[in-house]
Chain A
Amino acid sequence: MKEEIVIAGFGGQGVLSMGKILAYSGLMEDKEVTWMPSYGPEQRGGTANVTVILSDSRISSPVLNTYDTAVVLNQQSLDKFESKVKPGGVLIYDSYGIHMPPARTDIRIYQIEAMEATFELKNAKAFNMIVLGALLKVKPMVSIESVIKALKKTLPERHHHLIPMNEEALKMGMSLIKE
């Protein structure tokens, strides 16, 4: 098993931390993982993206040209990464603020309304976990249990009471995917 994923959006949307939780979840299942951010000034308000690779064997390059799965959360990221999904791959995008939807026909495209869902949950901070839930519904590369374990590992103890809320967000994200 090898899964090459890019997650892209605005800085502040939780793109990097979503990737980090995904990578840690892979670690909980004894997979090899890499997490490679685009870092630097562009994180502050501009676009941010992160490449996450989960694999059963040693991972070569953390830098990729094409991806099995792209999760894009704004128009700029969609423009940049739509063409970089491998044929047969998956593109998940949040419809909020998208005026030019993806047009490729050789990949599986899922439109989700994660931003809308945060209004329903009354919690804007749950956005990235909703998106992660949607991703895991389409591509169950790690189990929800592993994600919860990863959250326990990465969150400081004082934030552990937020884990049930995160779990709820994950489940809501999963329910956003309609085949």
Chain B
Amino acid sequence: MKGNEALAHAAIRYGADGYFGYPITPQSEVLEVLEEQRPWETTGMVVLQAESELAAINMVYGGAACGKVVFTSSSSPGISLMQEGISYIAASEVPALIVNVMRGGPGLGTIHPSQADYFQAVKGGGHGDYHLIVLAPSSVQEMCDFMWLGWDLAFKYRTPAMLLADGLVGQMMEKVVLPEPRPRRTEEQVREQCPWAINGRKGMRPRNVITSLELVDEIMEQNNLRFQRTYREIEKNEVRYETIDTEDCDYLFVAFGSMARICQKVMEIAREEGIKIGLLRPITLWPFPSQQIKEAAKNVKGIMVVELSAGQMIEDVKLAVECNVDVKHYGRFGGIVPTPEEVLDALKKQFAINK
């Protein structure tokens, strides 16, 4: 099935309580599959096409504040519209999952794959000092698996998580093993697992308040310090990445999502020509696998960061290696996806490899 279809099936099987979205290419299949599956008749999950992205993200905020398992999906321009809500969700410390199937921008841009929302996803996007846990799937199987992981992490740390996919992974069809379906949590389970949720105190506990507003500066600073402690905890525990052929490579690719797949083909071709390239694929873009990149880059002649953007993740790679390694970039943008040969030519040219 398609990556976008896998997302929808994964959500129903996780026992999600609600989806709120507004259609946009290249992720419209998410809403389409949910409507076709009619989970409201089986699990009781709500599927709602909102009147706009603003409405959708605020419905997610509302659901999350009640301790519900909720998500939205959109693509780049739609995600930009949601930024205010995402900042509010982060500040309110409620768990939610936001899926961005990126397309070429800026502006309305194109409908074809891009990775140019990296900065927006990992450096904030909305206002204020907050982070999203950002997961970057590179296969249809991961589109499914990371939905579950995203929610698990969001609930563990009471923070919004984002699946940062691109049009290529969304539209591509591959083999996928779907997890066994789980029932939605009962009202009692929600009360037990989310004692902070606003679901009626019934005279049993003090009032819960979910808000991002705090007019006493001293308290707001304390809130911020608490957010930062959570982020440090996430950085310590949740870095995820994959390495391929990094033990004895001369050059290192750092790429995520669909670009990491294309880089693997480049490595196959290069190996036949006698050029040894390894790949480090960040799976969590935040927290970023800085230490692991530094480690993998110890003995290489150079790093090439390959992105469907003009160069965004490269900044984090440079920081990771503290500029001790030569870091180059190759990217195509606006919806263009480079072929493996193109990437290999770029590597040869940038590092003056004559093979």
Name A's B-contacting residues (CB within 8 A): 20, 23, 27, 32-37, 39-41, 59-66
Contact = CB atoms under 8 A, between A and B. Distances in A.
A63 B111 contact: no
B112 interface: yes
Please name the 10 residue pairs, one residue from A and one from B, whose CB atoms are nearest each other, closest first: A61-B265, A60-B264, A35-B173, A65-B339, A61-B262, A60-B265, A65-B341, A36-B172, A61-B261, A34-B174
A71 to B, nearest CB: 18
Contacts of A59: 174
A61 B339 CA distance: 9
Contact of B264 (A20, A36, A61): A61
B340 A63 contact: yes
Interface in B122-164: none
A168 B339 CA distance: 38
B109 to A, nearest CB: 12
A37 B339 CA distance: 15
Contact of A62 (B25, B172, B175): B172
B173 A34 contact: yes
A20 B173 CA distance: 8
Nearest to A84: B339
Contacts of B341: 65-66
23 contacts: A20-B173, A32-B174, A33-B173, A33-B174, A34-B173, A34-B174, A36-B171, A39-B26, A39-B167, A41-B111, A60-B262, A60-B268, A61-B262, A61-B265, A62-B172, A62-B258, A63-B258, A63-B340, A64-B340, A65-B340, A65-B341, A65-B342, A66-B341
Contacts of A20: 173
B168 interface: yes
Interface string B324-350: 000000000000011111100000000
Interface of B: 25-26, 111-112, 167-168, 171-175, 258, 261-268, 337-342
B261 A33 contact: no
Nearest to B337: A63
B340 A35 contact: no
Contacts of A34: 172-174
A151 to B, nearest CB: 16
B208 to A, nearest CB: 45
Contacts of A62: 168, 172, 174, 258, 261
B173 A23 contact: yes
Contacts of A64: 265, 339-340
Given A27-B175, A62-B261, 9 more contacts: A35-B173, A36-B171, A37-B171, A39-B171, A60-B265, A61-B263, A61-B264, A62-B258, A65-B340
Contacts of B173: 20, 23, 33-36
B268 A32 contact: no
B255 to A, nearest CB: 11
A41 B339 CA distance: 21
Nearest to B173: A35
B174 A61 contact: no
A110 B175 CA distance: 31
Residue with the greatest number of chain A CB neighbours at <10 A, chosen from B265, B266, B338: B265
Contacts of B265: 60-61, 63-64
Given A20-B173, A60-B268, A64-B265, A36 B168 contact: yes
A20 B175 CA distance: 12
A40 B342 CA distance: 23
Contacts of B25: 40
Nearest to B261: A61
Contacts of B261: 60-63
B175 A35 contact: no
Nearest to B167: A39
A27 B140 CA distance: 14
Contacts of A36: 168, 171-173
A32 B267 CA distance: 19
Contacts of B267: 60
Nearest to B265: A61
Residue with the greatest number of chain B CB neighbours at <10 A, chosen from A20, A39, A59, A66: A39
Residue with the greatest number of chain B CB neighbours at <10 A, chosen from A37, A39, A62: A62
Nearest to A53: B174
Nearest to A61: B265
A63 B171 contact: no
A40 B168 CA distance: 12
A34 B168 CA distance: 11
Contacts of A61: 261-266, 340
